[in-house]
């Protein structure tokens, strides 16, 4: 198997870790942020632009690619790496969260999830075995088990039932896996109940996956609950395996997650915010349409080394956004993605230099972090 995780260093004052994941398509330095390429593309960016931003791994969505254009076509055309012209590592989620998001359009059964396509209304059944078969056809380096994403709020009994279903599906996913070059991660559920989180963790770890994720967070629960889950559960995960906090989050969420021992993050926030004109800087969050930037000749962030900040002013970016130009989305997304990836570079540097606690304390004082 081409997948391997090396734990290089542990922080002396927190649970933070420095590591490296080896895959068939390259090395991933951790802690890492994975830009989200839902439909085989990170919206508005070329693969070369992603590389220039410092991306080492991106995430693609099983649910969307299954519905359109279909995993069989992608496999026929050489797999997802070739199809989207991204030769670095790829992680695919199982589609569980997207199906969860469909609400009334889906029905959960012991066999799997019955849902209606958001595209054409066609009816589908996504089973654990099918989720693995789709991801194996896509050829991702890291696959995720199909899980039942517990909503918030949920009662203890509802959460227990959801947890049991995830545990059952995890076993079926592990049994369905046929390709050695693709790593499979298990997902810990349990909602907001720490004892159920621990139960889910024990059941998931017993199956000996290549890595483990905390799922069912950032689904509407208060931030302090999400932080408590990360604080309490992450250190219980096997230290020799990578740890993934799914769908998180803001820069401050990521820094907190790293301090708990999380290695991997993903979120649509940097790209979605960019398309809506909300830009991250080390001093503040900038709403670029605001009139105060009309004559501002400064870059978005003087400390940023991205293509956008090197070449364009706030005034020009505001003009593009107000005019509805496509270039506004491109330049904004380059900046926000680079901001997130630069944050991870700074975190890794701080860990190497035994300065993570100092970095964390300084960062959370800054507006925008």
pLDDT for position 363: 87
Same domain? 262 vs 293? no
Q: What is the pLDDT of residues 96-127, one digit of tens each?
A: 888 778 777 789 999 999 999 989 999 999 99
Q: Mean pLDDT throughout 202-208? A: 98
My answer on whether 325 and 203 are in the same domain is no
pLDDT of 11 higher than 50 = yes
Is residue 125 located within the same domain as residue 257? yes
Domain range for 42: 33-267
Give the per-residue pLDDT at 365.
Answer: 61
Both 213 and 337 in a single domain? no
Predicted confidence (pLDDT) at residue 368 exceeds the cutoff of 80: no
Question: Mean per-residue pLDDT for 159-171?
Answer: 98
pTM: 0.97
Any domain includes 25: no
Mean pLDDT within 138-158:
96
What does the pLDDT look like over 306-327, one tens digit per residue? 999 999 999 999 999 999 999 9
- pLDDT tens digits, residue range 65-85? 999 999 999 999 999 999 999
For 269-274, what is the mean pLDDT? 98
Asked if 128 contacts 48 with a C-beta cutoff of 8 angstroms, the reply is: no
Based on the fold, state whether residues 253 and 285 are members of the same structural domain.
no
For the chain, state the CA radius of gyration: 20
Q: How many CA atoms lie within 13 A of 264 on its CB side?
A: 25
Any domain includes 217: yes
pLDDT at 354 over 70: yes
Q: Which parts of the chain fold into alpha helices (H)?
A: 47-53, 62-67, 71-76, 80-83, 96-101, 128-138, 156-176, 194-205, 223-233, 251-260, 269-275, 307-311, 314-323, 326-352, 356-363
Q: What does the alpha-carbon distance between residue 183 and residue 70 come to, in Å, rounded to a whole number?
A: 21
Q: Which two structure tokens, joined as six digits, stand for 239?
A: 């230290």
Q: Round the average pLDDT of the chain to a whole number and report it.
A: 96
Rounded Cα gap, residues 207 and 229, in angstroms = 21
Bridge partners, 6 (sequence order)? 20
Interval 119-144: pLDDT, tens: 999 999 999 999 999 999 999 999 99
The stretch 143-148 carries a mean pLDDT of 97
Strand partners, 245: 214, 265
What's the mean pLDDT in 151-170?
97
Q: Quick one: average pLDDT of 169-196?
A: 97
| Residue in the structure block whose two tokens are 């330095």 | 29
- The DSSP string of 27-41 is EEEESEEE-B-TTSS
pLDDT for 141? 98
Domain presence at residue 353:
yes
- Domain count of the fold of the chain: 2
| Confidence at residue 105, expressed as pLDDT on a 0 to 100 scale | 75
Compute the average pLDDT of residues 298-308: 98
Task: Note whether residue 338 is domain-resident.
Answer: yes
Ordered DSSP codes for 269-330 = HHHHHHHTTEEE-SS-EEETTSGGGTT--S-S-TT--SHHHHH--HHHHHHHHHHT-HHHHH
Residues with active-site annotation:
93, 266
Same domain, 110 and 131: yes
* Residue 40 counted as domain residue: yes
Among residues 203, 237, 267, the one where a domain terminates is 267
Q: pLDDT digits over 207-226, tens only? A: 999 999 999 999 999 999 99
- pLDDT, one tens digit per residue, over 34-70 is 999 999 999 999 999 999 999 999 999 999 999 999 9
300, 192: one domain: no
Residue 216 lies in a domain: yes
């Amino acid at each position: 198997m081409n997948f391997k995780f090396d734990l290089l260093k542990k922080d002396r004052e927190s649970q933070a870790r420095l590591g490296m994941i080896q895959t068939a398509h390259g090395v991933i330095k951790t802690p890492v942020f994975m830009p989200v390429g839902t439909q085989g593309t990170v919206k508005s960016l070329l693969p070369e632009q992603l590389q220039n931003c410092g991306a080492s791994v991106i995430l693609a969505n099983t649910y969307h690619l299954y519905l359109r254009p279909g995993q069989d076509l992608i496999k026929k055309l050489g797999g997802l790496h070739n199809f989207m012209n991204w030769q670095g590592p790829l992680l695919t989620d199982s589609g569980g969260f997207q199906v969860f998001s469909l609400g009334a359009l889906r029905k959960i059964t012991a066999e799997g999830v019955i849902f209606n396509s958001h595209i054409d209304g066609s009816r589908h059944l996504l089973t654990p075995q099918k989720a693995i078969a789709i991801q194996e056809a896509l050829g991702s380096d890291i696959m995720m088990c199909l899980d039942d994403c517990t909503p918030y709020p949920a009662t203890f009994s509802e959460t227990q039932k959801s947890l049991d279903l995830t545990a059952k599906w995890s076993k079926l996913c592990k049994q369905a896996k046929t390709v050695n070059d693709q790593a499979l991660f298990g997902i810990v559920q349990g909602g907001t109940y720490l004892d159920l989180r621990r139960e889910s963790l024990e059941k998931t770890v017993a199956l000996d996956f290549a890595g483990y994720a905390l799922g069912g967070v950032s689904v509407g629960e208060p931030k302090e609950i999400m932080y408590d889950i990360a604080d309490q559960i992450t250190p219980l995960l096997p230290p020799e395996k990578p740890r993934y906090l799914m769908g998180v989050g803001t820069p401050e969420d990521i820094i907190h997650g790293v301090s708990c021992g999380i290695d991997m993050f993903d979120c649509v926030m940097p790209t979605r915010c960019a398309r809506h004109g909300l830009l991250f800087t080390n001093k503040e969050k900038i709403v670029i349409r605001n009139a105060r930037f009309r004559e501002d000749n400064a870059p978005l962030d003087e400390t940023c080394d991205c293509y956008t900040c090197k070449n364009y002013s706030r005034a020009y970016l505001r003009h593009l956004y107000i005019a509805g130009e496509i270039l506004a989305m491109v330049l904004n997304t380059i900046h926000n993605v680079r901001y997130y990836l630069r944050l991870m570079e700074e975190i890794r540097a701080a860990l190497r230099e035994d300065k993570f606690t100092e970095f964390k304390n300084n960062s959370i004082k800054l507006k925008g972090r």
